[in-house]
Amino acid sequence: MCLDCGCQLAPALTRDFPRSPSSETNTIMRDLLADNDALAQRNRDYLDARGVVAINLMSSPGAGKTALLEATAAALQGEINFAVIEGDLATDNDTQRLRARGIAAQQITTGSACHLDAGMVSAALDEIDLNRIELLFIENVGNLVCPASFDLGQHRNVVLLSTPEGDDKPAKYPVMFRAADILLLSKADLLPLLGDFDPARAERCLRDLANPAPVITLSARSGTGLREWCDWLRAALGAEALRASGSKTNAPAST
């Protein structure tokens, strides 16, 4: 029987291991990230209680996460109030950039850590006035590998793939792209210049991961796709409000 929930495990998982005379084998079956996941769920409950929907924004470095937030703020001005938790290895450049646009932003400088974790987000949440917002973006450290493994307490995962990176990235980083609740093909204004990025191929690579997430071709610079993106955000807020009224919370597609 598993120590966490008392479930009955399949026989293959509970087989006896050979024992040495001075040792005893204990079957544990606990997720290595169980402590992080428990803290993440606490963050989610905390946000739910305040009616705030959190979105984990992930991509490689330089895919346009901050530019997307700037464009989103302009598009949603007067309609949806949001704040941003900014994860960055070494600088607060993006926080300064957002604040200059009047967007509430809280910096987490991770030092050498290549990802945010639930503990870092929990500390940052204490610094944000959640009564003034409905939506919280958590801009993760630019990295297509590590952030996918850590639940932060978010309700949705958004993954950006910028067109200069190439359309086969979902095949190369399956853990990250499987976790996406929506895929934004950013810097779409560069498509005519690049010539070899095929949005349909990027979508095929995503489907090969059995991920049904919507795909939006988007340019923060030209405004292409921003309307669809904002519609998706409104739908996410609506769905979470509905879920909250039924007192159920929602984890992202995969963490």
Partner 1 sequence: MHELSLCRALIEQVSALAAQHQARGVSVIRLRIGPLAGVEIGLLRSAFPHSSRGSLAASAVLEIEQTPLQVRCETCGGVSEVSLNQLHCRHCGDWRTQLIGGDELLLQAVDFITAPAPHEEAQHVS
Which residues contact partner 1 by CB under 8 A? 13, 17, 19-36, 113-115, 117, 145-146, 148-150, 170-172, 174-176, 178, 205, 207-210, 212, 254
Q: Where are the alpha helices (DSSP H) in 101-218?
A: 118-125, 169-172, 174-178, 191-194, 199-207
Token pair belonging to 63: 């895919």
Task: Rank residues 32 and 102 by Cβ distance to partner 1 and give the closer one.
Answer: 32
User: How deeply is 1 buried, as exposed, middle or buried, from its count of CB atoms within 10 A (0-12, 13-18, 19+)?
Assistant: exposed
Task: Rank residues 17 and 246 by Cβ distance to partner 1 and give the closer one.
Answer: 17
State in angstroms the smallest separation of the CB of 201 from partner 1: 13
State in angstroms the smallest separation of the CB of 150 from partner 1: 7
State in angstroms the smallest separation of the CB of 206 from partner 1: 9
Separation between Cα atoms, residue 125 and residue 50, nearest integer Å: 12
Task: Rank residues 136 and 148 by Cβ distance to partner 1 and give the closer one.
Answer: 148
Separation between Cα atoms, residue 212 and residue 251, nearest integer Å: 16
Separation between Cα atoms, residue 251 and residue 155, nearest integer Å: 5
Task: Rank residues 174 and 214 by Cβ distance to partner 1 and give the closer one.
Answer: 174
State in angstroms the smallest separation of the CB of 144 from partner 1: 10
